Structure 1
């Protein structure tokens, strides 16, 4: 379906009431949908925020992941091509470039004309730029919208979005992003939003790695981890991230909010971008090694706080100096 106006105008049967978007009974929900492709840890939580906010059509490689959303009223597509065919705005929350290549095809099997594609996953900035160029050449529109936050903020609609794209395209998709995001920051043209996301993740990853090292230091000196947690929460360095990850470290709770493999992927993207621009990244070099070691130690399904295992392993092996 071609769409040359703001999505909210095109689907006039949608309107906002008390901060929520609702669908009129006389609407044509089959025609006017937001598409969401890939329902991983983050994607499922984000898509859940859109059910009841917009008429939603979802697709996931593993069909079982669509069942909770279908029960909440979302439609389920049989293929990514169906999502692109039926939805004027399509959100992509795929894991990496390979997954994007599998879904966003340029072999003539998908018509992107009039479709605004919103790429919310974290991929290499250069890849994102190239993808946007190919989509525009195929008649589509492209917006980068990576987010800062993990599964819990996604469930709460408290993500922070960084967006890049033509002004009209950003305006078109902003109402769709609002149920998922507490704040939306414009970053210019692609790939500036993804590059900004890498800068944000540099702080996040070094912060959590430093926090893990602090708990390991306390552990080695036989200090009470629960007391350290309380002191950090009361101090000037406390943040949403530090308090949530400190609780995990104190309780040895590795249930996933941000998984080790995802953080490792992002770490490598940051280091690669730094090297390409001849930028020093000494802390991220070390963090990338630690997350790779944590994954090798069997924490491939655990939260990023489990990076402490790599620090413990270095101590056990006598690697106590750089």
Structure 2
């Protein structure tokens, strides 16, 4: 395993991957990128330098570390394990890190495939949204062997303020599930609180100013209350993505025998938001569902 990583490949330049890869380029690394939409990869190179490539395989060729940040399990399989996937271009002794929020089963599959090729693997889903990616303040939950994590961590710290090994492969994804379970309940609680304050004739901004200083305070309250009050949701983490994540959580819970009644309910509330045409709205749009019950 190379101890001095100088060349990396970044696969997937969405709202998260684009700035994450940018932080690596800003740190002086040689960054090779691939994106399904080639124009976006070309725009990234024009902004940050490095090089863009027509397939994940070609982007990964010669890279000490390959990072993936795409949409779902199927996307990861395609860009990592497909005929033109990253593993086909990676050398033994290199390292694959998957930042996609995906299933723990996929993490185990990738770990096994990597080991067949003599490649290290870390599953490393992130939390903090587009803002965290742009600011380099993401929380990164990792699963994998200690040696692989220790090699990857200094690179991940270019865009993560908290980079933590949670256990063997799959542990990062399981921890991200806990994260999404907690967020869903917090957003619904904030939604109901703001809705109640409005119906009670209270000034919601003053209410949040007071209660955010106590036990009710949360990241969601600090960062989303104003846009929720203003009924503005054209930003942030999309409802479609949250439903994908909650689906992963609920599937895993069934396998574990874990009971997630609130998570299942919030997932259905997000289905209502999708039916209102809000699939790309921020997750805080649960309040729109209460304000416009006839459309839900």
Query: Under a length normalisation based on structure 1, what TM-score does the superposition of the two structures give?
Result: 0.84
Greater mean deviation of Cα atoms: 47-56 or 194-203? 47-56
Distance 1:253 1:108 in 2: 41
- Give CA deviations for 1:187-220 in whole Å, capped at 9, x if unaligned: 1101111101111211112111211121222233
- Aligned equivalent of 1:239, options 218, 227, 230: 218
Is the partner of 1:234 in helix, strand or coil? Answer: coil
Q: Which has the larger share of helix?
A: 2
CA separation of 1:76/1:106 partners in 2, compared to 1, >3 Å: closer, same or farther?
closer
Is the partner of 1:182 in helix, strand or coil? Answer: strand
Is the partner of 2:257 in helix, strand or coil? Answer: coil
| Partner in structure 2 of residue 80 of structure 1 | 56
CA contact 1:51–1:69 (8 Å) conserved in 2: no
| Partner in structure 2 of residue 45 of structure 1 | 19
Across the aligned residues of Structure 1 and Structure 2, the Cα RMSD in angstroms comes to 2.0
- In the alignment, structure 1 residue 56 sits paired with structure 2 residue 31: yes
Q: How does 1:59-208 map to 2 (within 5 A)?
A: 59-66=34-41, 67-107=43-83, 110-114=88-92, 115-208=94-187
CA contact 1:229–1:250 (8 Å) conserved in 2: no
Greater mean deviation of Cα atoms: 147-156 or 237-246? 237-246
Q: Shift of the alpha carbon at 1:73?
A: 1.8
Q: Which runs of 5+ in 2 are unaligned?
A: none
Q: Shift of the alpha carbon at 1:287?
A: 0.8
Q: Shift of the alpha carbon at 1:307?
A: 1.9
CA contact 1:294–1:306 (8 Å) conserved in 2: yes
Is the partner of 1:190 in helix, strand or coil? Answer: coil
CA separation of 1:307/1:64 partners in 2, compared to 1, >3 Å: closer, same or farther?
farther
Q: Which runs of 5+ in 1 are unaligned?
A: 12-31
Q: Shift of the alpha carbon at 1:299?
A: 1.0
Distance 1:70 1:118 in 2: 25
- Aligned equivalent of 2:254, options 272, 275, 299: 275
| Partner in structure 1 of residue 277 of structure 2 | 298
If you compute each CA radius of gyration, which structure gives the higher value, 1 or 2? 1
CA contact 2:62–2:90 (8 Å) conserved in 1: no
Query: Under a length normalisation based on structure 2, what TM-score does the superposition of the two structures give?
Result: 0.91
CA separation of 1:5/1:86 partners in 2, compared to 1, >3 Å: closer, same or farther?
closer
Distance 1:44 1:107 in 2: 24
Q: Shift of the alpha carbon at 1:64?
A: 2.9
CA separation of 1:74/1:221 partners in 2, compared to 1, >3 Å: closer, same or farther?
farther
